[in-house]
Amino acid sequence: MYTFLHHLVLIVCLHTQTRKMKHRRPFRLTALSERAKFVLLWVEGMTTTDIAREMDVSANTVSRWIKRWKLEGNVNTRPRLGRPCIKRSQLMEGVQRFHQLWSNYHYIHPLSITDHKANFSFTWI
């Protein structure tokens, strides 16, 4: 059975979790000039925590960019590996092909067919 002490411990745990969540910074991209400044300050002898405090970013962010600079020799953004962009002309061709495949009878609701006793052949996906 829960006692007063159990409730107190639960309240303290919830309070510390919400306090930790409030201190989390929102996500934002790090500009190239900021990254270069991280490395410059680090080379001049500042610690990562001091740099993070001065630049108002997390120490993990500073460490990540310094590590990248050590490994690759630069702090440039890497090329993205996502799906390539679809050109507008290719998109329009695809829409026209799709529209030609589907005629009006595909959009008729089954209840309207039974009400009007119409004979249509259609497929549902």
**Spatial CB neighbours of 87, under 8 Å, sequence gap ≥ 6:** none
Q: Which fold would CATH assign to domain 28-78? A: Arc Repressor Mutant, subunit A (1.10.10)
Query: Whole-model pTM above 0.75?
Result: no
Q: How many CA atoms lie within 13 A of 81 on its CB side?
A: 1
Mean pLDDT of all residues belonging to the chain: 74
Start-to-end CA distance of the chain, whole Å, equals 55
Sign of CA dihedral 59, 60, 65, 66: positive
Percent of the chain with pLDDT over 70: 59
> What six digits make up the tokens of 62?
């500073």
Task: Note the pLDDT tens digit of each residue in 42-94.
Answer: 999 999 999 999 998 999 999 999 999 999 888 887 777 777 777 788 788 88
Burial class (CB in 10 A: 0-12, 13-18, 19+), 35: buried
Question: Using only C-alpha atoms, what is the Rg of the chain?
Answer: 30
